[in-house]
Chains A and B, each alone.
Chain A
Amino acid sequence: MEVRFLENDFVRSYKKYSSAVEVEGISESFSKDVLRRFTRNKGAVIGCLSIFLIIVMSLFGPYINSHTYKSIIIEHSSLPPKVPVLQNIGIADGVIDGRDIYLEKGFEDIAYIFGTDTLGRDLWTRTWVGTRISLYIAGLAMFIDMIIGMSYGLVSGFFGGKVDIAMQRFIEILSGIPNMVIVTLLVFILKPGIMSITVALLIKGWIGMSRVVRAQVLKLKEQEFILASRTLGTSNRKIIFNEVLPNILGQVIIMSMFSIPNAIFMESFLAFIGLGLQAPLASLGVLISEGFKSFLVFPYMVAIPTIVLAILMLSFTVMADGLRDAFDPKMKEM
């Protein structure tokens, strides 16, 4: 190896050690870090955008046309989807088995984007109104998880001892009651509807989250920075909010995201078996339930709400997955 020596190479440099040499990159807060990692995950970003789109559609979709979710025009029953632009390419052109239904019934100049159901109700409006219900369930599930589940787990785990034992025993009793029993009882008392589903979720939906939070808190409690806070005289309340909470929030958000698909599906399932929302109310589950009856003849009636449901659930799952990866600082220290 050829090295060209310079004149004063072999003279002592007497350079003093300077800690400025160790600039460790920009001071990034944890949340910015997470955001950066999240946006790099294409799947997660797509999931996030899909959810956003669906939310927009559910809010504004129903206003595109003049139909409401329960307006019945019996003459328009069972019309297949007909989308003005796409029909020219042959998709959604109002044709089933080669027969143009709109033509047959003499409605060439009207179009139902998602078609109609057996009672002549506009499926476009009903689908998006139904999605609102599902989104409400999603938000409710997340809310219950984070507020009730997280608080319960925090208190139980942090204070430990008799408090913890009592709180855990309570949960064990509660979770021993099967979901179906609770729902049936509620339906009996409150009559099927959005209220009974809300209460059902309130009663049991948060148990899983509280267990996970409790486990996290138990682990965190013995960490030295918590002990340090205690030796510095920090009050319990401050420790819980300033020290413990920020370190579990990530996990909590992710876990509650993962519980959303389950909650949405539960509502749909209940609707499907007749214990959920009743007609003429629309929810994705109700639509699937009604559409199922005509599945073989008019598949679009069940297909459309199912697809929306599937996209919604998948998007939440993918987004939660991406969030979890973003929160996990694997290669932080080499």
Chain B
Amino acid sequence: MADNNTILEVKNLKQHFKVNKNFTVKAVDGISFNIHEGETFGLVGESGSGKSTTGRSIIRLYKPTSGDVFFKGQRISDQLDSKTTKTLRTQIQMIFQDPMASLNPRKKVMDIVAEGIDNFELYKNKAEREQLVYQILERVGLSKEHAKRYPHQFSGGQRQRVGIARAMIMNPELIIADEAISALDVSIQAQVVNLMKEIQEESGIAYLFIAHDLSMVKYISDRIGVLHLGHLVEMGTTDDIFKRPIHPYTKSLLSAIPKPNPKVEKESTPITYNYETSGIDYTQGLSHEVEKGHFVLGTDDEITQWKSASQIGG
């Protein structure tokens, strides 16, 4: 149910790609979730789960095959008129994964960051344009001098900051971070994630944080959705997912994360989960609310079975 401070509503989103006459890839096959003002929603999954596709469908890099996406009440999943286009292109922004490929190597940082405000003429004159860019660069931990430089003169972490600046300068309400830290060194990941958190505290931005690294997702997210093969198998608060996982896929995902604790890690064996042989069919499952705000995809029998295995509601 959408409440007053829901800014993004995704309802039964499907994104299919037709490869040829006989074969369609169902990258996203019917997922629903909401994001509230100022919260971070982590979308986790492995390769082929459909997490990146979800982000790109929401921001209309693809036209959704079916389903609805509402942003602050406006439908952005269908035909777009100029008003919705403007809302979409200013208030929802994206940060990409590859720091090398996400910046145009032939453009100066100044022009890269100002691209959005250039498109919508959000300033009066050149001086104001420069000011806006300098301000945002400083906000993300870079300096004015960096504006005159070219991407190849920066490190991966710095490039990612430029990407964040480019998104932030538009003052969006929602930023979709599509594996925004996966390609960075571990120590730099922590920097960038901290920056994102700071920005959120200051400006109340919401994040859709798409990632495969569960430990980072845990640190930054308020709520988490677990994707597998285009289906949202479990969704809840960070606590729900990490402390009381129900779905066997979620459990296997959690147990697979290697912890930096030798005594524990050396003894542990990961829980295996094989969808093909598990007897589970995601298309037959429905979303069940097992505790407040905690949803699991499955048939009634499966849910009962799993709940008793996890001792919930007992």
Taking Cβ atoms with an 8 Å cutoff, the residues of A that contact B are 19, 22, 24-25, 27-30, 223-225, 227-235, 238, 242-243, 246-247, 329, 332-333
Contact = CB atoms under 8 A, between A and B. Distances in A.
A232 B104 contact: no
B interface SS class = loop
Q: Chain B interface residue count: which class? A: 35 or more
A127 B153 CA distance: 50
A329 B152 contact: yes
B74 to A, nearest CB: 16
A234 B61 contact: no
Given A29-B150, A224-B96, A232 B103 contact: no
Given A231-B93, A235-B119, 18 more contacts: A24-B149, A24-B153, A24-B154, A25-B153, A27-B108, A27-B148, A30-B150, A224-B96, A224-B101, A225-B101, A225-B102, A225-B112, A228-B96, A232-B166, A238-B119, A247-B106, A329-B152, A332-B152
B104 A231 contact: no
Given A230-B61, A231-B61, A232-B170, A243 B104 contact: yes
A228 B153 contact: no
B105 A247 contact: yes
B106 A246 contact: yes
Nearest to B86: A233
Interface of B: 56, 59, 61, 85-86, 89-90, 92-94, 96-98, 101-108, 112, 115-116, 119-120, 141-143, 148-150, 152-155, 163, 166, 170
Most buried by B among A24, A30, A228, A247: A228
B119 A233 contact: yes
A32 to B, nearest CB: 11
B61 A224 contact: no
A232 B150 contact: no
A274 to B, nearest CB: 48
B140 to A, nearest CB: 12
Given A224-B102, A243-B104, A247-B106, A233 B150 contact: no
B169 to A, nearest CB: 10
A162 B36 CA distance: 40
B163 A228 contact: yes
Contacts of A19: 141-143
A243 B103 CA distance: 10
A238 to B, nearest CB: 8
B152 A333 contact: yes
A246 B150 CA distance: 14
Contacts of A234: 115, 119
Nearest to B115: A232
15 contacts: A24-B149, A24-B154, A27-B108, A27-B150, A27-B153, A228-B96, A228-B102, A228-B163, A230-B61, A231-B89, A232-B89, A233-B86, A233-B89, A233-B119, A246-B107
A309 to B, nearest CB: 37
Nearest to B153: A24
Contacts of A24: 149, 153-154
A51 to B, nearest CB: 27
B234 to A, nearest CB: 29
Contacts of B106: 30, 246-247
Contacts of B59: 231
A232 B103 CA distance: 13
Contacts of A238: 119
Nearest to A230: B61
A227 B178 CA distance: 12
A235 B105 CA distance: 19
Nearest to B117: A232
Contacts of A29: 150
A229 B113 CA distance: 11
B12 to A, nearest CB: 23
Contacts of B102: 224-225, 228
B119 to A, nearest CB: 5
Given A229-B115, A247-B106, A223 B101 contact: yes
B94 A228 contact: yes
Contact of A225 (B86, B93, B104, B148): B104
Contacts of A224: 96-98, 101-102
A28 B149 CA distance: 7
A207 to B, nearest CB: 27
Contacts of B143: 19
10 smallest beta-carbon distances between A and B, as pairs? A233-B89, A224-B102, A246-B106, A224-B96, A232-B116, A24-B153, A27-B149, A224-B101, A225-B104, A233-B119
B120 to A, nearest CB: 7
Contacts of B150: 27-30
A247 B104 contact: yes
B166 A228 contact: yes
A234 B163 CA distance: 16
A231 B94 contact: yes
Nearest to A243: B104
A232 B61 contact: no
Contacts of A223: 101
A247 B92 CA distance: 27
Contacts of A230: 61
Contacts of B149: 24, 27
Contacts of A232: 89, 93, 115-116, 119, 166, 170
A233 B120 contact: yes
B84 to A, nearest CB: 12
